Structure formats: C-alpha cells, structure tokens
Amino acid sequence: MMAVPRNFVDYEGIYLLSHSIGLPVRGTQEAVADYFKVWESDTPHAWPQWLGAIDHFRETLGQLIGGPPASICPQSNVSSALSKTLGALRQSFDNPTILLTEEAFPSLGYVCEHAGYEVRYIGADLDATDPAVWRSALTSDVDIVLITHVHSNTGEQVDVADIAGIARRQGVISIVDVAQSVGVLPVDVDAWDIDVVVGSCVKWLSGGPGGGWMWVRPDLIERCTPVDVGWFSHDDPFEFDIHDFRYAGDALRFWGGTPTVLPFVIARHSIDAIRRIGVDAIRRHNLAMVDQLVDALGDRVLSPARPERRSGTCIIRAGDGDIEILSRKGIAVDQRRGAIRASPHIHTSENDIEILVAALLARR
C-alpha cells in the first residue's frame, strides 16, 4: 500500500508519533499568514475576520464528526472542555457522581477529582473494552459516564456506542474523549448517540496545540448552565450591558472570555487536509502498517490484534536501549510503561515499517 506523503511537511527520518503530535500539514504557514494579513493591514476590522475563522473551524469539524456547527464550541484543550461540561451539569444532580476508567488520560481524572463530583473508577485490572464491565459499574447512582474512545497506553479501542447505549437506557449522561482517535478512527456523533464529545486537534488531526473543542448534543445545551463564562458566552457578545447576561443559544455558551483564534486557523487547515484524504483511507492504511508490524514482531506486539479493538497506535514490548537506538536511526517513537508506542499515519510507508522492524530485530 502506497503512502501519501505530500500532504504533510517533509520529515528527516521516520515519524511515528501521531498519538502525541501530528506531523504538520503542508500549507500551514500560508494559512497562518492569511490570518495575519487583515490584522496587519486593517487592524480595526480584525474581529470579523477572526470570528469568521472560528465559524469556518466549527463548520469543518462538524463535517468531520457528523454534528451541526452550532453544537461545537472551541476550547483550549480537552481538560478545559471537560471542566466546563462538568461545571455546567453539576447542579442538575443531588450528589453528582461520575464514572471513568483508570486507563483514562490522567488530566481527565484531575478535572473530575476537582469538579465537585464523587469520582468512581473502573480499575486498570479490568477489561475496559468489555461493555459488561461498564454495565456492572453503571449503578443507579451514577450520573455521568466518561468514556475514553482510545486508551493511549494500551492501544485499545473502546466500543463507544455499546457503552453509551447502556448509559442512555439508565438515564446516564455520556461524555466521550476522542483526543487519541479523531483523525484515524471514524467519529460519528449521530451514530454513537452520545451527549458530549471532547477532543483535540494536536494529534492525528495534525492541527497543533490549542485547538481543543467540545460537541454537545443539541437538546442538552439548554440544560447546561456553565459557570466559567465570559463575554463570548453571551447571546450577543457585543451588547455590552453588564447587568444583562444571557447564555448563547448554542454551544458557544461554553466559550468564555476573549477567544484564541490562531490555533483554530491552523486546525481548520489541517482538518480540511484530513477530510480530503479521508479518515477511512487513513484507517485502512494504518491497519495495513500495523498488520506488517504484527506479522514481523509476533508476540512483541502488546496491543490488540483484532482490528475492531485496535487503535491507531501499536504497542511494542521494548528491550533495553531500544528507544535510544531507534532515535539514533531517526525513527521517532516514544515509550510508556516499558513499551514502545508507534503510530503509523498516511505518510508512513511499508519501507518505514521495514526499517523499524529491522532495527528492533537486530537487538535480539
């Protein structure tokens, strides 16, 4: 299978870190230059251009995840999006309780522990890919379930639709973290039938830091009363009446004060590129590259072999000094819990994988 490297900037070596920072898309610097053009040449009228850029980001992301732009609100990162969601829903419950797994990214746990909720964890010793485990943990006093679509340390994919269905039947609100999946796995908010999605553009979407976001089910938005607000949470930000705050009628009620814009100019440009390639094409290519690793490395691959349980990241048992050797050969991977994380994107070739395999097998 041939890769499509010309969509991304040239990299001197083999880049397998899309689970951490996506390789920049070509043309990103030009997209940023357009952002500065109006600011430099017509500064008093920069706001319409800036807000237009946010609108374009919301439209483009909505096309990627299958949700209306009005349900999308930019955020600086996933933690901010989750914090605002939990704060907005807390007063809906007498004794707010949230359930998540210990395999969730630690930042999410930090937010939950400080959000005024009772926090319950599915233990790391349990199989969080098994909906039955979630069914047992979703007792009648749980109000919100936080589902991580992809666990970054194990390379496992969780069946969001099944778990969200269990939650919905019990009247539990579902929040899904797609930071490690959007761009390499299909994300379809309608098909999942969930309540909130929080995500980021820095990884598989190649959109850089600062381009976080949240999607909120349209019929849930009016129930949400964010506490962390600002003039851009207002129904009319330019009304400027300090005695008259009205929540925005759409997801922008979560926005807050003066917004950042530049990260979303970059992210919109990168999402456009991902959409042109197609997430399905990226996923097929990723599966083929990981199959190549599984065939060559056998039981050194610790992440799931079954495609439907597999994320975009291949987890490989590391030997002493493997990371240092790979680094010297220009192969960009990282290590967690004694294992190598390697994430082939569309710019990864079969030859790249062969070089990685040869470097790892030469150590045996």
Mean pLDDT of the chain: 95
The reported pLDDT for the residue numbered 362 is: 85
Q: State both tokens at 282.
A: 């990226």
Phi, psi at 212, each rounded to 5°: -80, 170
In angstroms, rounded to a whole number, what is the distance separating the alpha carbons of residues 276 and 258? 32
pLDDT, one tens digit per residue, over 230-242 is 999 999 999 999 9
pLDDT of 158 strictly over 70? yes
In angstroms, rounded to a whole number, what is the distance separating the alpha carbons of residues 56 and 92? 33
What are the residues whose beta carbons fall under 8 Å from the beta carbon of 264, sequence distance 6 or more?
Answer: 53, 54, 57, 74, 211
The reported pLDDT for the residue numbered 364 is: 55
User: What Rg do the C-alpha atoms of the chain give, in angstroms?
Assistant: 21
Domains 5-24+278-361 and 28-275 are alike in CATH topology: no
42 or 18, which is more confident?
A: 18
Task: Let me know: does 137 contact 120? Beta carbons within 8 Å.
Answer: yes
The reported pLDDT for the residue numbered 66 is: 96
**In a 3-state reduction of DSSP, which class is residue 49?**
helix
Give the mean model confidence (pLDDT) for residues 24-46.
91
The reported pLDDT for the residue numbered 5 is: 53
pLDDT of 2 strictly over 70? no
Q: State both tokens at 100.
A: 């998540």
Residue carrying structure tokens 């909906």 = 131
Which DSSP state fits 175?
A: E
Neighbour-count burial for 290-310, b at 16+ CB within 10 Å, e otherwise: bbbbbebbeebbbbbeeeeeb
Give the orientation angle of helix 28-41 with respect to helix 262-277, to 10 degrees: 140
pLDDT, one tens digit per residue, over 194-249 is 999 999 999 999 999 999 999 999 999 999 999 999 999 999 999 999 999 999 99
pLDDT of 272 strictly over 80? yes
Q: Does domain 5-24+278-361 have CATH number 3.90.1150.10?
A: yes
In angstroms, rounded to a whole number, what is the distance separating the alpha carbons of residues 114 and 111? 5
**Residue 254 one-letter amino acid:** F
Domain boundaries, the chain: 5-24+278-361, 28-275
pLDDT, one tens digit per residue, over 46-103 is 899 999 999 999 999 999 999 999 999 999 999 999 999 999 999 999 999 999 999 9
Q: Tell me which CATH code domain 28-275 carries.
A: 3.40.640.10
The reported pLDDT for the residue numbered 244 is: 97
- Cα 325 to Cα 70, 85, 176: the distances in Å are 48, 43, 37
